[in-house]
Structure 1
Amino acid sequence: MYKLIKLDNGLRIVLEHIPYVSSVSVGVFVQTGSRNENKHNNGISHFIEHMLFKGTNKRAGKEIAETIENVGGQINAFTSKEMTCFYTKSLNTHLDLSLDVLSDILLNSKLADEDIEKEKNVIYEEINMSEDSPEDVLMDLHSIAIWGEDSLSLPILGTKESLKGFNREILKEYMGKYYIPDNSVISICGNFNVTTIESLVDKYFGHWNVNENSKVLTNYSSPLILKDNLYRKKEIEQLHISLGIPGIEMGNDSIYPLLILTNILGREASSILFQKLREEMSICYSVYCGLSSMKNTGIINIYLGLNTAVAAKAINAIKEQMSIFTKKGINEVQLYNGKEQLKGSYILGLESTSSRMFSNGKSALFLNKIKTPEEILNKIDKISMEHVNEVMEHTFKQGIVNSSFVGDISNIDEIISHL
């Protein structure tokens, strides 16, 4: 059973009741991430995510984790380019406790000056750790190649320079502006009392209100996907490459045929690119296609890591395989198999209350509606060859339009020329 309701203060609650499980997953989704920032406060959404676990008027930082973990539950959070999420998973008998803790950290965090300064050091190390990961550096660099000066290109962690200026006043001001009921969704999935759940959520979140500086997030930019190629020198063994192709924005039903095409080209071990570059040519260990769909924009990226000596050879092979793929298209057998694969991976994902909670929360936050499994499976079944060809025309047929490279190489211009 799915239900989307709204409290008097504007907070949306999405419920999925599953009576045959013993767990319940709860997520508080706030519509703010690095996309809502600028160069001066870049990283503030992620910083606030960390700070909300540092203590409230009711609980010390350690107690926040202990309260949930002592009853066998889990509590955590994450920040993306477009949202921040705080979540728990526990036995359904501890739903009241989960809502108590989540509301406490959202609404009563101390944001103490001492904790802020200490946490800066923690996130500096997180940035250092990201710098040591070529894949992380590559994706942040590719975001700039794709979106340029748009805030979508900003790194989620922020920079050491932007973090230096954070203080309690700046954090409180940002939270007062964006951490409001109208920008938020509570998603609950699992076994709970359907007759009392609304009043229970209202007990903990009904007094969450706005101030005169609050801003409801409704308008987002529609950034152009740029044609740019960026390189970052790093003394590592491999050259890491990300190739960008225009994708599809969040909420567009064309995402389903695009997923089929992406899976066939490069998502699985049986895919075209994996079989060509790894199995046949044996020039890389990892090659795959990924999708990113956001408000008003989307991108497909092909990632690979390999010896710099064969980089040009790999790019030529990818372009050749993409050319064949876009000219030939797919046949009815591939379409049928693609649908079954898509349905299989989706249905398997439904077996987790937390994955269902995340999916429902994100859908309610950005689209203000929930698609039931039956609706999604029906959309997949109805994918036609005509729709697949139309999606191919607007995505893969556009070719590689931008790229990023991370590694230690002297002839990067020559390699980029192969694009």
Structure 2
Amino acid sequence: MPLNLPLVAPGSPGAELVVGQDGGAAVRRTVLPGGVRVLSEHMPGLRSATVGAWVGVGSRDETSGHFGSTHFLEHLLFKGTARRTAMDIAEAFDAVGGEANAATGKEHTCYYARVLDTDVPMAVDVIADMVTSARLDVDELETERGVILEELAMNDDDPSDVAHEQFATAVFGDTPLGRPIGGTPQAIRSVPRDAVWEHYREHYRPDTLVVTAAGGVDHDALCAQVEAALTAGGWALDPGSAPAGRRAAGTTGPVPSGTELTVRRPTEQANVIVGGTCLNATDDRRFVLSVLTAALGGGMSSRLFQEIREKRGLAYSTYAFASGHADAGLFGLYAGCTPAKVDEVTALMVVELERMADTPMGAAELARSIGQLCGGLVLGMEETGARMSRLGKAELVHGELLDVDESLARIRSVTAQQVQDLAGELAAAPRSVVRVGPFGD
């Protein structure tokens, strides 16, 4: 059964939860003073652990004058605190063979580290120090401004990255979800230190913080370490404070009815994506969408791979993808091909989607797609980072945690009729097309 994750104050019913998992693992959740949420999954026999600090703020939360601040903070939190220099932070993880990194999304930011189980206290202390006490030094900020601009330039040199970024903009238009996660070069060049500081102080608070850990970790010790580290960082942890509410649906704003966009790049190959909006992250049909995506373009036996690559030799890479946010989702079909073949390949991708909408999947194809998803899910859960991320997304996005068996059961319950019905919705929806390549006027 799903583990519901209520947003309650410390000491309230539901503030302490525990549930058994597969393989003898156990998930525990505690709401600490200040509304800080701590979730851990103890995995017997592992000598390593991955620890993450999640803040429920992403690029879509930036306001005018603050664009680019979320990605800026991802970089700047590694550049020193009141107690540590940037070198101190780097050396702390290098000295124990650990790995530390961060990721910015449209709706959340995560700072994480993978270390030996004996080094979890160090990882918690360093990450909590970064989250609570970043200096955002002016000189470091200006240095990192150049680093981020180089990162954006690197991404702009990858036509596949350009296609995916422009596709999100084409589908969501001039809305917060349509903005690039990393910010634009113009935004990064212009955002002042005061704006980044204001963004940091507004969003990095005890009630928005979620700490997750998986692997060789003791939950009670983890909670004590988190509370001590946050207090040492100067955060006031009010015993009566409840966690901040989860992101509400229905705030995307107007979405275009379908856009065609061509981006000119001097490449040998063209990249094309066709698709549009789809389910949000909490829609009950997200498991149906997963099966649909797997059948359409999830592996070597998928329809896109067989029709476009194997039968016609028109592309090396082709696949389907989907992503969900609180109030909207994105669905697309991708291929990389010779520029002269773009129209033919695009038409074939659309044909395959429409064929899935017109005719139910056969039993063998349905079983194969479900088996692919189930195997990928179980194999992915062998890694502590994946389990840590699962806990963070369950807390911030879904409000419930599904164990592996429940997730497998929901995938296996998907029917051919459900897939056909959803394919029909996607095929009938407004369609956007983005092409990146050496096209003329």
User: What is the TM-score when the length of structure 2 is the normalising length?
Assistant: 0.87
1:208 to 225, 231, 235: 235
Indicate the SS of the match to 2:102: strand
Aligned runs of 1:88-237 on 2, under 5 Å? 88-206=113-231, 208-209=235-236, 218-220=247-249, 221-226=251-256, 227-237=258-268
Q: Deviations over 1:186-215 (max 9, x none)?
A: 11111122443322221112553499xxx9
- Contact 2:354–2:424, Cα closer than 8 Å, also in 1: no
Q: Please tell me whether residue 367 in structure 1 is matched to residue 392 in structure 2.
A: no
- Contact 1:180–1:209, Cα closer than 8 Å, also in 2: no
Aligned runs of 1:334-373 on 2, under 5 Å? 334-373=365-404
The one-letter amino acid paired with 1:404 is V
After alignment, is 89-98 or 56-65 more displaced?
56-65
The one-letter amino acid paired with 2:157 is D
Partner of 2:9: none
- Looking at structure 1, the residues matched to 430 and 223 of structure 2 have their Cα atoms a distance apart, in angstroms, of 49
1:264 to 278, 288, 295: 295
- Looking at structure 2, the residues matched to 380 and 322 of structure 1 have their Cα atoms a distance apart, in angstroms, of 20
Aligned runs of 1:235-384 on 2, under 5 Å? 235-384=266-415
The one-letter amino acid paired with 1:324 is R
Partner of 1:416: none
Partner of 1:74: 99
Q: Deviations over 1:230-255 (max 9, x none)?
A: 11222222221111133211022311
The one-letter amino acid paired with 1:301 is G
RMSD of aligned alpha carbons: 2.1
Indicate the SS of the match to 2:406: helix
Distance 1:19 1:338, change over 3 A: same
Indicate the SS of the match to 2:87: helix
User: What is the TM-score when the length of structure 1 is the normalising length?
Assistant: 0.92
- Looking at structure 2, the residues matched to 50 and 238 of structure 1 have their Cα atoms a distance apart, in angstroms, of 33
Equivalenced residue count is 408
- Looking at structure 2, the residues matched to 244 and 83 of structure 1 have their Cα atoms a distance apart, in angstroms, of 24
Query: How far did 1:39 drift?
Result: 5.1
- Contact 1:4–1:369, Cα closer than 8 Å, also in 2: no
Distance 1:308 1:323, change over 3 A: same
Query: How far did 1:351 drift?
Result: 0.4
- Looking at structure 1, the residues matched to 220 and 163 of structure 2 have their Cα atoms a distance apart, in angstroms, of 49
- Looking at structure 2, the residues matched to 400 and 163 of structure 1 have their Cα atoms a distance apart, in angstroms, of 32
Partner of 1:417: none
Q: Please tell me whether residue 42 in structure 1 is matched to residue 91 in structure 2.
A: no
Distance 1:158 1:387, change over 3 A: same
Q: Deviations over 1:286-315 (max 9, x none)?
A: 111111111111111111111121112212
Indicate the SS of the match to 1:111: coil
Query: How far did 1:379 drift?
Result: 1.3
The one-letter amino acid paired with 2:438 is D
Q: Calculate percent identity across the aligned residue pairs.
A: 29
The one-letter amino acid paired with 1:109 is A
Distance 1:194 1:408, change over 3 A: closer
Query: How far did 1:217 drift?
Result: 6.5
Indicate the SS of the match to 1:57: coil
- Contact 2:65–2:195, Cα closer than 8 Å, also in 1: no
- Contact 1:41–1:163, Cα closer than 8 Å, also in 2: no
Partner of 2:51: 26
Q: Please tell me whether residue 410 in structure 1 is matched to residue 435 in structure 2.
A: no
- Looking at structure 2, the residues matched to 34 and 195 of structure 1 have their Cα atoms a distance apart, in angstroms, of 33
- Contact 1:54–1:61, Cα closer than 8 Å, also in 2: yes
- Looking at structure 2, the residues matched to 373 and 46 of structure 1 have their Cα atoms a distance apart, in angstroms, of 32
- Contact 1:32–1:84, Cα closer than 8 Å, also in 2: yes
- Contact 1:64–1:101, Cα closer than 8 Å, also in 2: yes
Query: How far did 1:400 drift?
Result: 6.3
- Contact 1:26–1:189, Cα closer than 8 Å, also in 2: yes
- Looking at structure 2, the residues matched to 55 and 2 of structure 1 have their Cα atoms a distance apart, in angstroms, of 33
- Looking at structure 2, the residues matched to 168 and 342 of structure 1 have their Cα atoms a distance apart, in angstroms, of 44
Query: How far did 1:10 drift?
Result: 0.7
After alignment, is 338-347 or 233-242 more displaced?
233-242
1:15 to 33, 40, 45: 40
- Contact 2:177–2:252, Cα closer than 8 Å, also in 1: no
- Looking at structure 1, the residues matched to 433 and 235 of structure 2 have their Cα atoms a distance apart, in angstroms, of 44
- Looking at structure 2, the residues matched to 124 and 69 of structure 1 have their Cα atoms a distance apart, in angstroms, of 26
Partner of 2:4: none
Q: Deviations over 1:120-148 (max 9, x none)?
A: 11111111111111112212211121011
Indicate the SS of the match to 1:90: strand
Indicate the SS of the match to 2:273: strand
Indicate the SS of the match to 1:123: helix
- Contact 2:121–2:222, Cα closer than 8 Å, also in 1: no
Distance 1:306 1:288, change over 3 A: same
